[in-house]
Amino acid sequence: MSTTGKVIKCKAAVAWEPKKPMTIEDIEVAPPQAHEVRLKVVATGVCHSDYYILYEGGKEHGFPCVLGHEGAGIVESTGPGVTRFKPGDKVIPLFVSQCGECQLCLSDKTNQCVKNWTVDEKNMESKSRFTCKGKVIIQFMGTSTFSEYTVVREVALTKISDSAPLDKVCLLGCGISTGYGAAINTAKVQPGSTCAVFGLGAVGLAAVMGCQAAGASRIIAVDINKDKSSKAKEFGATDFVNPKDYKKPIQEVLMEMTDGGVDFSLECAGNVDVMRCALESTRRAWGVSVIVGWVDVKDVSTKPVDLICGRTWKGSYFGGWKSVQSVPKLVSDYMDKKIKVDEFITHTLPLEKVNEAFDLMITGKSIRTVLKM
Ligand code: NAD
Ligand code: ZN
Ligand code: ZN
């Protein structure tokens, strides 16, 4: 029986309030409105940003909510005016939109879009199509992939190859694309250069992969978890450094190892002190340091002179990819074996075990857990 135009009841992991585990609930998912698409989520990765919102006191995105922004699924129905999607299409929801028409979309200087979900944070409730126990449940980042069904705007959705395995390519909806793009598109790592990547979760390992793809001759992987060493080498790192093994600041260690600093560094840990270390590990005259780790409630600092002499400090959102057009190409690159995806997946669990997936990530036991619906 067709579900088109009807409310769908399904399971979702609801985060009722900050710093409390999510609970699995029966929620109602309304039909898509104009220029919206409802999809059946098939699989979703669990990213540190989901954890950050719930447990690390990120900026208020509104509770109760359904987290999850690294999913892949199949279109169930489309709202009025939708022309690019039809039921049955394989799709990846996007936490950064690409309307293709706004001033930002028309510029090649950015992957931001004025229609992005987070631009209009005041109207989170009116934009949600989820309810549970009579309450509106906010759709985190406009994606909410920790649910069996979700509704997304068509500007924040992309169609991918019919033959793509959804339980793998879901990771291209955030972590892998972010780290890989941060190295290639934002840092613009050059052949023969020396790089350092701080923080070796999925985002950092993807940054290592990006540095290698760009032809870096030395890639120093930095993490306080010694167990990340072998994985980093598998992704292309030439050296592994654990800051805990040294008494002196890690930037001094890297300066000495490289005779004056790395050409490029990427911070993928989400810690403002590490951001400073990453900047100060680069060569004073021309080093480029990219902030990828997500922090929205603390300041980052350095001495102005550390920039004056020639360093550049940048940030990268979703790896600089223009989302709608780039994600299908990244999916093809994976299927053509040009980029790794399977190697990031260390655990597969059902949606019901979403809190366990957070534990695995935060204790450093997993790289990525994929939740299958
Ligand atoms: P993760 O938790 O899987 O990995 C983080 C890694 O950092 C871990 O291996 C941890 O041991 C390491 N780490 C922690 N403290 C460190 C320190 N002091 N020095 C060195 N390493 C340290 O996280 P992830 O899912 O890979 O995400 C990484 C960061 O990227 C998070 O902050 C996340 O919110 C952010 N993120 C940003 C974007 C973006 O668009 N900019 C997108 C996705 C994720
Ligand atoms: Zn993410
Ligand atoms: Zn736009």
Does the structure show a pLDDT above 90 at 120? no
| C-alpha dist (Å) from residue 124 to 78, 86, 117 | 21, 26, 9
Q: What average pLDDT score do residues 60-86 get?
A: 95
Q: Which of 126, 272, 141 is nearest to 198 (CA)?
A: 272
User: What is residue 117's predicted lDDT score, i.e. its pLDDT?
Assistant: 82
The fraction of the chain above a pLDDT of 90, given in percent, is 94
Q: What value does the mean pLDDT take over residues 297-306?
A: 94
Question: Which pLDDT score is estimated for 35?
Answer: 97
Burial of residue 165, with CB atoms counted within 10 A of its CB: 0-12 exposed, 13-18 middle, 19 or more buried: middle
Q: Count the neighbouring beta carbons within 10 Å of the beta carbon of residue 109.
A: 6
pTM of the full structure: 0.97
Phi, then psi, of 243 in degrees rounded to 5 = -55, -25
Nearest to 227 by CA among 363, 131, 318: 363
Q: In residues, how long is the chain?
A: 373
Q: Give the residue-averaged pLDDT of 152-161.
A: 98
Please tell me if the CB atom of residue 196 comes closer than 6 angstroms to any atom of ligand 1: no
Averaged confidence pLDDT in the chain: 96
Q: Which residues are CB-neighbours of 367 under 8 A, at least 6 positions away? A: 201, 202, 205, 231, 344, 345, 346
* Predicted local distance difference test score (pLDDT) of residue 6: 97
pLDDT at 15 over 80: yes
**Confidence at residue 121, expressed as pLDDT on a 0 to 100 scale:** 66
- Enter the DSSP assignment of 182: I
Beta strand pairing call for 36-45 and 149-153: antiparallel
- Whether 171 lines ligand 1, by a CB cut-off of 6 Å, is no
pLDDT at 185 over 80: yes
Q: CB of 152 within 8 A of CB of 72?
A: no
Q: Under a CB-based contact definition with an 8 Å cutoff, are residues 93 and 43 in contact?
A: no
pLDDT at residue 58 is higher than 70: no
Q: What angle separates helix 272-280 from helix 250-257, to the nearest 10 degrees? A: 30
- The amino acid occupying position 251 is Q
Q: Is the pLDDT of residue 145 over 70?
A: yes
Among 112, 275, 292, 343, the mutation site with the greatest number of ligand 1 atoms within 8 A of its Cβ is: 292
What residues does 197 pair with on adjacent strands?
Answer: 221, 266
Nearest alpha carbon, ligand 1 atom 15: 269
Q: Tell me: cis bond preceding 87? Omega within 30 of 0 counts.
A: no
Q: What is the mean pLDDT of residues 95-107?
A: 97
Which of 44, 46, 49 for a ligand 1 pocket mutation test, highest count of atoms within 8 Å of Cβ? 49
Is the model's pLDDT at 127 over the cut of 80? Answer: yes
In which band, very low, low, confident or very high, does the pLDDT at 113 lie, cut at 50, 70 and 90?
Answer: very high
